[in-house]
Structure 1
Amino acid sequence: MILHKADDALMCKAFAMTLRGAAQDWFHTLPSGSINSFKELAYVFTKEYTSYRSINKNPDHLFNLHKKSNESLRDYIKRFKAERANTIGCDDQIVFSAFKRGLPIECELYRELTIYPRQTLVEVFAIAERYVLWDDDRIATKKADQVAEQASQENGKRRSQP
């Protein structure tokens, strides 16, 4: 609209139509006549919503991520990828190093990535996805064993009661 030299009133009205939810409600609470230009509207809007902006992190942040002991491999990878999306200026080698460092040493994936280093991040996450399937299966089996054990203990208690 700036390129087409639209006037401020039109730009303010068009801007209002792009808002949704709470931002639209905020816009309608502005006192009538309180905004004199699009530049002023942009300033007021930015001032109101600056705190909602996500802050991009540097690559060092990725080295602070570690797989928690009660966290599945799937959840760790999902959390790591989400943090990576908010990280600026990191190449595949940094991401690979941070990802591997976040794994426990006793993790089979850590062992695999140490013995057979991968060339690209795509390869690393492809291998990781295979280990996720194994980890999910291991967790499901462990839960099934616990349920079966609880059921057998309950049956044993019922039999011992007269």
Structure 2
Amino acid sequence: MYNGRTDPVEHVSHFNQRMAVHSKNKALMCKVFPSSLGPVAIRWFGGLGEGSIDSFKELTRAFGSHFITCSKVSQPLDSLLSMTMREWKTLKTYSDKYREMFNEINGDFDNVAIRTFKVSLPAEHGLRKSLTRKPVCNVRQLMDRIDKYKQVEED
């Protein structure tokens, strides 16, 4: 259910996924779409003038335009560059925050993400030494290595 506070693009994407089997039937998509709306959005839908929407594409555009202030804005790459482990104290809290921030950046920045994570660790940290001795090739490998070091930290 769309509550009027989350990203409308994500909502339409989820709706399309749920309706994938019926995606060719645009009239059905238009009729079912209101059932995915919560109270705020259903009021908006109810306020649409009769005959003002001619297609599912128009409906989703109008929906996105109305709830545009709820759209997620991707984070700039700079947000990763400014992070340091010292702010977050433990590898677990730092890597969790780093992962969250990385997931909000659009683009293919694996190399930059790996380097910035490594240099933001204290020089004496075992993970930084490990990443220097045996570099990783992608963020998935980085996250796997981080997980191993988090387990050691938690024990």
Q: In structure 1, list runs of 5 or more residues that go unmatched.
A: 138-162
Q: Within 5 Å, which residues of 2 pair with 1:7-86? A: 12-20=30-38, 22-24=40-42, 26-28=44-46, 30=47, 33=49, 36-38=52-54, 41-86=59-104
Q: In structure 2, list runs of 5 or more residues that go unmatched.
A: 1-21
| Percent of aligned pairs sharing the same letter | 24
Choose which of 133, 156, 159 in structure 1 pairs with 2:151.
133
Distance 2:150 2:112 in 1: 22
TM (norm. structure 2) is 0.64
Deviations 1:52-102 (A, max 9, x none): 111123434321222234532112111111111111222432221121123
Distance 2:30 2:140 in 1: 44
Choose which of 92, 95, 107 in structure 1 pairs with 2:110.
92
* Structure-2 residue corresponding to 1:122: 140
Distance 1:77 1:117 in 2: 17
Contact 2:85–2:91 (Cα < 8 Å) also in 1 = yes
How many pairs are equivalent? 132
TM (norm. structure 1) is 0.62
Relative to 1, partners in 2 of residues 1:11 and 1:93: Cα closer, same or farther, differing over 3 Å? closer
Aligned CA RMSD, in angstroms, stands at 3.0
Q: Is it true that 1:108 corresponds to 2:108 in the alignment? A: no
The CA deviation at 1:21 is: 5.6
Letter in 2 for 1:36: S
Segments of 4+ in structure 1 off by > 6 A?
A: none
The higher-RCO structure (CA 8 Å, 6+ apart) is 2
